[in-house]
Amino acid sequence: MSTALSEHQRTGPKAPTARPARPRRAGRRQQGLACAVLLAPFTALLVAVFLVPVGYAIYLSFFGQDHEGLGFGGGTTVFTGLRSYLAVLGDPSFRSGFGVIALYCLIFVPAVVVGALALALLLDSGLIRLRRTAQMMLYLPHAVPGLIAAVIWLYLYTPGLSPVIDLLADMDVHIDFLGLNTVLPSIVNIALWSGLGYNMVIFYAALQALPREVIEAARIDGAGGIRTALLVKVPIIRGSVVMVCMFALIGALQLFTEPTLMHQATPMVNSRYTPNMYIYDAAFRRNNYGLASAASVILLLVTCALSYAVTRWAGRRERSAR
Amino acid sequence: MTALGPASARSSGSGLTSRTVANTVVLIAALYTLLPGLWLLLAATKNSDALFGSDIFSFGDFSLGHNLTELFSMEEGVYGRWYVNSLLYAVVGALAGALISVAAGYAFDKYDFPHKEKLFGLVLTGVMVPPTVLALPLYLVASGIGLVNTFWAVFVPVLFNPFGVYLARLLSSGYVPTEVLEASRVDGAGELQTYFRVSLRMLGPGFVTVFLFQLTAIWNNFFLPMVMLSDEKLYPLSLGLYTWNSSATVSPEYYPLVVIGSLLAVVPLIVAFVTLQRYWKSGLTAGSVK
């Protein structure tokens, strides 16, 4: 794509063909120049912090520092082909990272979609007092940075620090929030806390845009509040539902902050718990850039494939619905 | 938004009970979202001993002042440094980033050039690729050109905001009528002059929206600084608090500092959110209509 860019810069000044009605050459040239000036900083960033790094990671994933056996110090860069990819894909700890993500999605996506949708429908039902205040309170955790949300909840999971654990102990309930089977739900809970209100606002905005006549018609036909919500409102805003699901899935693949913090507190979260943690571990604990690059490229491909698949699927649903 | 409120549901049958149930559910959800924040607020007033053990709601040992002094004097006041860094990364970064994104989005909307839609397709790909995937590739490039462990290694990548470009293109087609540009051209104003004097002003609310989204994203940034930085003096708050938290597992006197440090780190975004609420919403809605 950088070729398209340089071509644009080359031909920029005479490029615009927007106004055939006024073929004044000087004006067109000026427009092209202005367009190039306005676009230049962004395209420079696009190349420097997006295309070049991705390209370089792909390059590095096929080459490796070869200093096995003879130990000539610095080592030479040699073409290793798919060796890094095979090493990554053959590594059980990388594959188990995707297993963790899958399990995480299985709990998180239904929880956040159902929760946010239910709250949005309730707010839209007209039954709620102080609607604005409620909305703001629910949205507030989204303004808390991810790491700090994780710190708050980690402390609420830590015996001795946590009033929750004390309270439960008074009721003779003893839960280890950082145990083998509870640590993943505990991580999901952090993400849910942060994302519930945010997604609720997206659904609520979509609901507010619904034509009121449709809702009235359903009501006149005798549908109750709950039936109207589930059978009329939800199907109409399913575009937003698909979008929220998609971003939840893509976000889940990037899971890093919460488990990294948990890793400091519990042995149940190892240093390669998620794909991103695996990448960090490969690059900075094992100093294997080839391995880390290959893992990054795989994660990038999975992310793109997933978002492409979901958008395609959503598009087809949209079209067939018409 | 409430002005558009739905028709009253009072007519729909079993009024009082469903109203009570609905309000209770929302109340429980609001408690769930608020109580952890309240805990943070209360815990920030406790010293190390009180934090462990005693009742969180007792105000017997109120040591907010002591915690604050400790916070800013620990390790030669490095926390203040982190705070300034975060403000620099986030506020300056979001300002510059929003200027760049809005200019690009405007150019995409108002001008034609070869391969425009292909380039825009690349922008949309950028929206889909989360920044964390790029962190390691960026590190590899930065280490190649010797920029690792510098201010720029964190500052420059966060300027790239393809979602901002997408949003700005959408807003530009909505807010800036082509007739205004035509009029300005007839008046003999230069294209860039028109952009800065007329269009940018009309894009003002959109600019604030893009700025806010980017501010949050940068303030949230954790993976990139963790990968790029090894010098504590360059850390943003998130990374600094993370290292203090790992110190706390060995020496518990760090716990109160992490707690009060977290509380102060949340303040700017809460303020930005509450004062500029309507801009967040317009961005969210614009994002969801696509």
End-to-end CA distance of chain A: 35
Q: How far apart are CA B122 and CA A294, in angstroms?
A: 22
How many other CB atoms are found less than 10 A from the CB of residue B121? 12
pLDDT for the residue numbered A47: 92
How many other CB atoms are found less than 10 A from the CB of residue A321? 10
pLDDT band at B277 (very low <50, low <70, confident <90, very high): confident
For B17, name the nearest residue in chain A, comparing CA atoms only.
A127
* A314/B contact by beta carbon, under 8 A: no
Residue B119 pairs in a beta bridge with none
Buried/exposed A31-47: b ≥16 CB within 10 Å, e otherwise: bbbbbbebbbbbbebbb
How many other CB atoms are found less than 10 A from the CB of residue A233? 21
Q: Which of A15, A129, A155 sits opposite B113 (nearest CB)?
A: A15
pLDDT band at B286 (very low <50, low <70, confident <90, very high): low
Q: What is the reported pTM?
A: 0.83
Q: How far apart are CA A122 and CA A130, in angstroms?
A: 12
For B121, name the nearest residue in chain A, comparing CA atoms only.
A1
CA distances from B18 to A118, A224, A299 (A): 14, 11, 46
Span A101-154, pLDDT tens digits: 999 999 999 999 999 999 998 888 877 888 888 888 888 898 899 999 999 999
Single out the residue of A195, A141, A46, A200 nearest to residue B127, CA to CA.
A46
Q: What mean pLDDT comes out for the span A276-299?
A: 90
Of residues A294 and A229, more confidently modeled: A294
Span B25-73, pLDDT tens digits: 999 999 999 999 998 988 888 877 777 765 666 656 677 888 888 888 8
Of residues A240 and A70, more confidently modeled: A240
Please list, in sequence order, all residues whose beta carbon lies within 8 angstroms of the beta carbon of residue B278, skipping any fewer than 6 positions away.
Answer: none
pLDDT for the residue numbered A318: 62
Single out the residue of B252, B222, B251, B250 nearest to residue B235, CA to CA.
B222
* B270/A contact by beta carbon, under 8 A: yes
* B35/A contact by beta carbon, under 8 A: no
Span B149-204, pLDDT tens digits: 999 999 999 999 998 999 899 888 888 888 888 888 888 788 888 888 888 888 88
State what percent of residues in chain A have pLDDT above 70: 85
Backbone angles phi, psi at A63, to 5 degrees: -120, 155
Q: Which amino acid is at B131?
A: P
| Beta carbons of B288 and A206 less than 8 Å apart | yes
Q: How far apart are CA B251 and CA B243, in angstroms?
A: 12
| Beta carbons of A37 and B192 less than 8 Å apart | yes
Minimal C-alpha gap between A176 and chain B (Å): 17
